[in-house]
Amino acid sequence: MIVVSNSSPLIVLAKVGWHHLLKALFGRILISRQVFEEVVVTGAGLPGAAETAQARWIRVVELPGAAASLAAAGRAGLAAGELSTIRLAQLVRAHLVLLDDLRARKLAQHEGLKVQGSIGVLEAGFRKGHLPDLQEAYARLLGRGVHLDRALMNASLTSCNLPPL
């Protein structure tokens, strides 16, 4: 399975101590150079930076035409990392793209890509037995100021027969 990730799932999962869940679920993740720069270089010292830099199961891919990507990202109203994630997913024919930003998710879906966000990753980890307490993971996200939709978290909990937050 080919999986491409944007920065937000790497950062969000690190904030709650579940960055390694990506390896458990997918084995290997591809990220663009722009995402690596955003998480590891610009985000040095922040959640996700060290985890991503040290993860041998994350492969950084250079995209052709990176300068054009930056210009296109601005025109599309997306960050360079988001647009490069979508371009990389198209290039490698990814089975799944990990994105949290709603505008980026809509564009990826419009381009025919299958998308999952941090909430979906945590839910998948719970369903496969890698994450023992989904409700606690969502509560930690909210407690750490992560901006994800509480209604989506509650829908996820309900679909797993768990009480909402």
Report pLDDT digits (tens) over 117-152. 999 999 999 999 999 999 999 999 999 988 888 999
Region 16-32: mean pLDDT is 96
Number of domains present in the structure of the chain: 2
Whether residue 104 contacts residue 82, with contact meaning beta carbons closer than 8 Å, is answered with yes
pLDDT bracket for residue 76 (50, 70, 90) = low
What CATH number is given to the structural domain containing 42? 3.40.50.1010
Say yes or no: 111 and 155 in one domain. no
Say yes or no: 126 and 112 in one domain. no
Q: How far apart are CA 151 and CA 32, in angstroms?
A: 30
Say yes or no: 70 and 7 in one domain. yes
Say yes or no: 106 and 123 in one domain. no
Region 106-116: mean pLDDT is 95
Say yes or no: 102 and 128 in one domain. no
Q: How far apart are CA 60 and CA 107, in angstroms?
A: 22
Say yes or no: 112 and 126 in one domain. no
Examine residue 96 and state whether it is found in any structural domain, yes or no.
yes
Q: pLDDT tens-digit profile of 27-75?
A: 999 999 999 999 999 999 999 999 999 999 999 999 876 555 555 555 5
Number of H-type helices and E-type strands within the chain:
10, 5
Say yes or no: 98 and 144 in one domain. no
Examine residue 90 and state whether it is found in any structural domain, yes or no.
yes
Which domain range does residue 142 map to?
Answer: 119-159
Whether residue 12 contacts residue 146, with contact meaning beta carbons closer than 8 Å, is answered with yes
pLDDT at 63: 87
Examine residue 165 and state whether it is found in any structural domain, yes or no.
no
Say yes or no: 89 and 104 in one domain. yes
Question: What are the E-state strand segments in 16-165?
Answer: 29-32, 58-61, 96-98, 115-116
Q: Residue 60's beta-bridge partner residues?
A: 31
Whether residue 157 contacts residue 135, with contact meaning beta carbons closer than 8 Å, is answered with yes
Say yes or no: 102 and 124 in one domain. no
Whether 105 has a pLDDT exceeding 80, the answer reads yes
Examine residue 63 and state whether it is found in any structural domain, yes or no.
yes
